[in-house]
A = this chain, B = another copy of it.
């Protein structure tokens, strides 16, 4: 039996509004962004109301309190992913986290820099945020971008892993859970293959950290990125985690105040990690909001959340199995799979599917999900994607199944 999490829905003020057609909101788009509990909204507001000041700079009490709030947020977020707080860098988003890495690896002054002839490995199911930065890095440095393929069942094809991850491989950048398929990638095998050849592993944890317990030490990866807004936290904040001995070797990606050790007109030296990666007055209120979000999730318990989403996913897959017009894109079983379900409806374009669902108050994502290469590989113009979080329930699943039935009726689909 999974824990009953329905009591938590009331913590999210957005569910008190109604949407199209006067319907209550059924939010199945948490893969894009999650909703926020009131405690997170209040944490941000309280920062502004009671201790707003520029951190690390002022001699006054507010600046002290702001610095303390910001650094406590860092410690708290670090604890949430099993990291040391000096290894946690606050960025604006996972996109920025991944770009920071690609930029730093591209700087010849970095202690670990990508060189011509090096290989950077991604997969065919990466989000653009974990593909484009590496494409650009390869282009800038003369390195080669290669990738692991996917199987027809929406899993990673590991049959040629030892060819793809080879002695030329410098970096393996890979998603933890696919934002299209929901597939959870066997990171242990990836780490093993990378270690064998001395390559570094960068994990895009955007779709994992919000949904199940993630511990950087246990995973054994070298870097990890995720976004605050998908983990019940504010927009405008992301995390980049890296092993400190590696972060120390990287040049910063952006430059400005609060990240220097000394500056002259001719040059500068950098402060220590994590400070050297946080140029400028940081996103303080958002860090404090993110900290409140991970507190909230910790209270609920990540294993409970994972179980809850597992159950809903199972129900949805079972329901879709009964509908001959619906094809699920991605794993059909529950092994190594999270609460993201992509599907197509015969003869109806995803955009039209989404529109009909919207009419019933159901919010889903439609399109290529920022994974165009994957869509092309699958020969699809896009999919409709339902994704879960804590505030969803079995009723949401039934409502979705019923509404998809209406879609097929509305567009007079018959198979």
Contact = CB atoms under 8 A, between A and B. Distances in A.
A72 interface: no
A32 B54 contact: yes
Contacts of A129: 255-257, 279-280
A347 interface: no
Interface of A: 13-14, 17, 19-20, 25, 27, 29, 32-33, 35-36, 38, 40-41, 44-45, 48-54, 57-63, 92-96, 98-99, 102-103, 124, 127-129, 131-133, 135-136, 139, 145, 147, 227, 229, 234-237, 254-258, 260, 262-268, 279-286, 351, 354-355, 357-358, 362-367, 370, 372-373, 376
A326 to B, nearest CB: 17
B135 A92 contact: no
A94 B20 contact: no
A393 to B, nearest CB: 18
A357 to B, nearest CB: 8
A99 B254 contact: yes
B280 A96 contact: yes
Grouping DSSP codes into helix (H, G, I), strand (E, B) and loop, the A interface class, with mixed when no group exceeds half, is mixed
Contacts of A62: 14, 19, 25, 27, 29, 363
Contacts of A98: 256
Contacts of A357: 60
A254 B96 CA distance: 7
Contacts of A96: 92, 254, 279-280
A260 B128 contact: yes
B263 A372 contact: yes
B281 A32 contact: yes
Given A133-B256, A235-B285, A363-B53, A280 B35 contact: no
B93 A281 contact: yes
B128 A236 contact: no
Nearest to A282: B235
26 contacts: A17-B50, A20-B61, A40-B48, A45-B45, A58-B363, A58-B364, A58-B366, A59-B351, A59-B366, A60-B364, A92-B236, A93-B283, A95-B255, A95-B256, A96-B280, A131-B265, A132-B256, A133-B255, A135-B266, A147-B265, A234-B236, A235-B281, A236-B236, A236-B237, A256-B370, A260-B372
B53 A254 contact: no
B53 A257 contact: no
Nearest to A50: B17
A40 B58 CA distance: 23
A57 B93 contact: no
A36 B230 CA distance: 26
